[in-house]
């Protein structure tokens, strides 16, 4: 080992340094050409990313750890019926995942409570909704099985098995809670017009056959059944009854009215409510024949009992499930999840093109919200964070060097390092995650700037010692090549396990000598884009530091001499006496 190390130090590394010095010598003879070539390469990288690269996504998503199956029955369905339907759905799901039961840890069902999608705005309790949750074992114990395929198989085999029910299949979302991937907001003032427009738009998008849309669902439906008691006010007045008394009697019978408190303390407060029996409050005829007891002041205060049907008529109708307002205007939202592996941004772009050709009333506007709105906010935030980091680095460099030219040289490294990110992502066919890639570029700036400072500082020191500019940039590059390469190589090697998803169980490795090494999992899905961004950026930024920075330093000196005239550098000459031995 010592022999190979000595060979590397005395043979391989010096030859590599000479090879680098030869190419650096060629580069500094044509500094403007090198700089213009880098600009051209930046443009080529952008074009290559646009042509070959995949559409970016908001947050990366890995293999599902959970599969959620949501079932929604018509409004008014009681809890017992929903429970029966959910049991039937659970049995069907269990049958679908039977071939892969070795990687399924549990199947759990919920009814009424905890049955709404976390991406929905409404998180209430509903007797007409149920949820089946399939939990998979951790990634390292799946024996190479793909849970995305199992999720797709569940979605394929449960659609249409329950007539009249709406069924949606989803996986857990990666990253912080966000809204639905697809969210089309229809804004107007007339609720009936909004509902009609949403139905037309939903049918129009279905005819466009846009791939990736699971199921567009409106958050405002006019299918909520309602029983209306119309009060004949003239007849009620003749009987000496007000509409308020009628309303109070119905509310007491159906929902109950507080009569007293039992143990009314700070810790315990049990309210005693009085209401009609279940068979009475659930029967319309019983409610209509319910007698109102009141004192008729027109007859001298006589107590009378009159059935509610004497001055009311009952009609059945449908009303809106809810009404939403945004910026003081009524809003109806069509939302849906995107079926994997389709890209949410591609699907939304296709929807936007279709919506632009949709004929809508003049008083109604249509826009995209939800996940697209969250994505825009994230991009704006990351852009501001990147600009802030640029500003802070700029201030520090200006204080340190007291030179605009040197500061520009180092700042340009961050700009040109993005070339490596774009080329790497497009050449290897990776999907760029907006949030994690943005964070990676911000983190990349610190390492890139440090290497640039090393080279510029050492060049200044050599010039102050009397060396001419040409020899100074060559010597600085030759001398500082080793620390620059070591810094970049150490960072890249440290990021590779994170980029490829290298997993090792240290506990079992030291206790039972079984490290359980495997690759992939949730960590590579989430942190992989950030790690690859820094790897590609650092790899290209190292070349920029060792080749382009010396060229830009020469361009700065030449431009300064042309604009302000060449300044003579006075170098003190020292006489040295030599002695012959």
Report residue 177's pLDDT band, with 50, 70 and 90 as the boundaries.
low
Query: Is 37:44 a contact under the CB 8 Å cutoff?
Result: no
Query: Quick one: 145 exposed, middle or buried, by C-beta within 10 A (0-12, 13-18, 19+)?
Result: middle
Among 51-60, 83-92, 300-309, which is the least confidently predicted range? 51-60
Token pair 């240290």 is found at 506
Query: Is 540:447 a contact under the CB 8 Å cutoff?
Result: no
**Average pLDDT for 367-381:** 78
Q: At what angle do helices 13-29 and 31-52 cross, to 10 degrees?
A: 100
Please check whether the two domains, 180-222+325-369 and 224-319, share a CATH topology: no
Query: Quick one: 500 exposed, middle or buried, by C-beta within 10 A (0-12, 13-18, 19+)?
Result: middle
Domain boundaries of the chain, sorted by first residue: 21-60+375-562, 63-173, 180-222+325-369, 224-319
Instruction: Read off the tokens for 74.
Output: 């018509």
- Evaluate if residue 336 carries a pLDDT over 60: yes
pLDDT at 569: 38
Pairing type for strands 66-72 and 302-307 reads unpaired
Strands, E, within 25-153: which ranges?
A: 66-72, 104-111, 129-136
- Evaluate if residue 581 carries a pLDDT over 50: no
Q: Give the residue from 165, 162, 68 showing the smallest Cα distance to 117.
A: 68
How do residues 480-510 score in pLDDT, each as one tens digit?
Answer: 888 888 888 888 888 888 888 777 777 777 8
pLDDT at 126: 79
pLDDT at 9: 59
Report residue 363's pLDDT band, with 50, 70 and 90 as the boundaries.
confident
Name every residue whose Cβ is closer than 8 Å to that of residue 425 and which is 6 or more positions away in sequence: 49, 53, 431, 432, 437, 532, 533, 536
* pTM across the whole model: 0.65
pLDDT at 4: 54
**Average pLDDT for 441-451:** 82
Report residue 264's pLDDT band, with 50, 70 and 90 as the boundaries.
low
pLDDT at 122: 67
How do residues 384-437 score in pLDDT, each as one tens digit?
Answer: 887 888 788 888 888 877 888 888 888 888 888 888 888 888 888 887 877 788
Query: Is 64:136 a contact under the CB 8 Å cutoff?
Result: yes
DSSP class of residue 102? G
Phi first, then psi: give them for residue 551, nearest 5 degrees.
Answer: -65, -45
Report residue 358's pLDDT band, with 50, 70 and 90 as the boundaries.
confident
As a whole number, the mean pLDDT across the chain is 80
Give 203 or 181, the one with higher predicted confidence.
Answer: 203
Highest-scoring range by mean pLDDT, 62-66, 145-149, 233-237, 548-552 = 548-552
Query: Is 240:294 a contact under the CB 8 Å cutoff?
Result: yes
Query: Is 538:492 a contact under the CB 8 Å cutoff?
Result: yes
Best CATH choice for the domain 180-222+325-369 from the list 1.10.150.20, 3.30.70.1440, 3.40.50.10580, 3.40.50.720: 3.30.70.1440
pLDDT at 572: 38
- Evaluate if residue 579 carries a pLDDT over 60: no
Q: Give the residue from 500, 124, 155 showing the smallest Cα distance to 321.
A: 124
pLDDT at 335: 82
Beta-sheet strand order (sheet of 129-136) = 104-111, 129-136, 66-72, 166-171
d(CA 56, CA 231): 59
Query: Is 534:418 a contact under the CB 8 Å cutoff?
Result: no
d(CA 371, CA 388): 25
Token pair 């497009």 is found at 426
Instruction: Read off the tokens for 215.
Output: 């199921």
d(CA 452, CA 461): 14
DSSP class of residue 56? P
- Evaluate if residue 576 carries a pLDDT over 50: no
DSSP, residue by residue, 175-200: SS----SEEEEEEES-HHHHHHHHHH
How do residues 4-34 score in pLDDT, each as one tens digit?
Answer: 556 545 667 778 888 888 888 888 888 888 8
d(CA 265, CA 448): 65
Q: What is the share, in percent, of the chain residues with pLDDT greater than 90?
A: 0
Query: Is 166:75 a contact under the CB 8 Å cutoff?
Result: no
Pairing type for strands 312-319 and 302-307 reads unpaired
Helices (H), 12-100: 13-29, 31-52, 79-96
- Considering the domain 21-60+375-562 in this protein, what is its CATH number? 1.20.1640.10
Strand partners, 314: 229
How do residues 108-121 score in pLDDT, each as one tens digit?
Answer: 888 888 787 776 66
Strands, E, within 66-103: which ranges?
A: 66-72
d(CA 175, CA 528): 13
pLDDT at 530: 87
d(CA 175, CA 527): 11
Q: What is the share, in percent, of the chain residues with pLDDT greater than 70?
A: 90
- Evaluate if residue 468 carries a pLDDT over 80: yes
- What is the chain's length? 581
Best CATH choice for the domain 224-319 from the list 3.40.120.10, 3.30.2090.10, 3.90.1150.10, 3.40.50.1820: 3.30.2090.10
Strands, E, within 263-338: which ranges?
A: 270-274, 291-296, 302-307, 312-319, 324-326, 329-336
Token pair 């060396």 is found at 467
How do residues 284-335 score in pLDDT, each as one tens digit?
Answer: 888 888 888 777 766 666 787 888 888 888 888 877 767 777 777 788 888 8
pLDDT at 176: 59
Query: Is 239:292 a contact under the CB 8 Å cutoff?
Result: no
How do residues 216-249 score in pLDDT, each as one tens digit?
Answer: 878 777 667 788 888 888 888 877 788 888 888 8
Can you identify the CATH homologous superfamily of domain 63-173?
A: Multidrug efflux transporter AcrB pore domain (3.30.70.1430)
pLDDT at 171: 81
pLDDT at 580: 35
- Evaluate if residue 577 carries a pLDDT over 50: no
CB atoms within 10 A of CB 387: 10
Query: Is 437:529 a contact under the CB 8 Å cutoff?
Result: yes
Phi first, then psi: give them for residue 215, nearest 5 degrees.
Answer: -165, 110
């Amino acid at each position: 080992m010592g022999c190979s190390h000595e060979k590397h130090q005395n043979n391989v590394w010096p030859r590599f340094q000479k090879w680098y010095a030869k190419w650096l010598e060629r580069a500094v003879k044509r500094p403007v050409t090198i700089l213009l070539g880098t600009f051209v390469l930046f443009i080529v990288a952008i074009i290559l990313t646009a042509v070959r690269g995949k559409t970016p996504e908001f947050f990366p998503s890995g293999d599902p750890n959970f599969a959620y199956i949501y079932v929604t029955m018509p409004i008014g369905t009681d809890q017992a019926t929903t429970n029966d339907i959910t049991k039937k759905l659970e049995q069907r799901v269990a049958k679908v995942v039977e071939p892969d039961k070795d990687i399924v840890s549990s199947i759990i069902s919920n009814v009424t409570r905890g049955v709404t999608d976390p991406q929905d705005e409404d998180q209430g309790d509903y007797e007409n909704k149920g949820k089946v949750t399939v939990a998979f074992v951790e990634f390292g114990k799946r024996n190479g099985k793909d849970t995305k395929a199992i999720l797709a198989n569940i979605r394929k085999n449960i659609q249409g098995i329950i007539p009249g029910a709406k069924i949606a299949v989803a996986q857990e979302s990666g990253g912080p809670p966000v809204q639905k991937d697809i969210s089309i907001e229809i804004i107007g003032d007339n609720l009936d017009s909004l509902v009609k427009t949403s139905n037309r738009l939903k049918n129009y998008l279905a005819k466009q056959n846009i791939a990736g849309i699971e199921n567009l669902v409106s958050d405002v439906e006019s299918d909520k059944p309602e029983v209306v008691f119309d009060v004949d006010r003239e007849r009620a007045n003749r009987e000496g009854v007000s509409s308020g008394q009628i309303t109070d009697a119905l509310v007491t019978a159906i929902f109950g009215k507080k009569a007293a408190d039992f143990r009314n303390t700070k810790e315990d407060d049990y309210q005693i409510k009085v209401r009609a029996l279940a068979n009475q409050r659930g029967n319309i005829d019983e409610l209509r024949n319910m007698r109102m007891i009141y004192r008729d002041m027109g007859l001298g205060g006589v107590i009378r009992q009159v059935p509610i049907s004497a001055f009311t008529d009952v009609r059945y109708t449908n009303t809106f499930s809810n009404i939403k307002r945004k910026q003081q205007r009524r809003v109806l939202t069509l939302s849906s999840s995107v079926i994997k592996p389709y890209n949410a941004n591609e699907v939304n772009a296709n929807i936007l093109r279709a919506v632009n050709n949709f004929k809508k009333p003049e008083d109604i506007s249509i826009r995209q919200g939800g996940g697209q709105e969250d994505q825009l906010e994230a991009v704006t935030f990351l852009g501001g964070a990147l600009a802030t980091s640029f500003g802070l680095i700029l201030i520090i460099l200006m204080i340190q060097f007291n030179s605009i030219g040197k500061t520009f040289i180092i700042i340009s490294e961050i700009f040109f390092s993005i070339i490596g990110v774009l080329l790497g992502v497009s050449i290897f066919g990776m999907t760029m995650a907006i949030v994690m890639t943005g964070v990676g570029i911000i983190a990349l700036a610190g390492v890139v700037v440090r290497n640039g400072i090393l080279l510029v500082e050492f060049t200044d020191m050599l010039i102050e010692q009397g060396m001419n500019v040409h020899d100074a940039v060559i010597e600085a590059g030759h001398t500082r090549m080793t620390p620059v390469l070591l810094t970049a190589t150490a960072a890249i090697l440290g990021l590779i396990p994170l980029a490829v998803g290298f997993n090792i169980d240290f506990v079992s490795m030291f206790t039972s000598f079984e490290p359980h090494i495997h690759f992939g999992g949730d960590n590579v899905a989430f942190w992989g884009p950030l790690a690859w961004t820094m790897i590609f950026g650092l790899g290209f930024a190292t070349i920029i530091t060792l080749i382009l920075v010396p060229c830009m330093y020469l361009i700065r000196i030449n431009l300064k001499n042309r604009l302000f005239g060449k300044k003579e550098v006075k170098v003190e000459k020292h006489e040295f006496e030599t002695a012959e031995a």
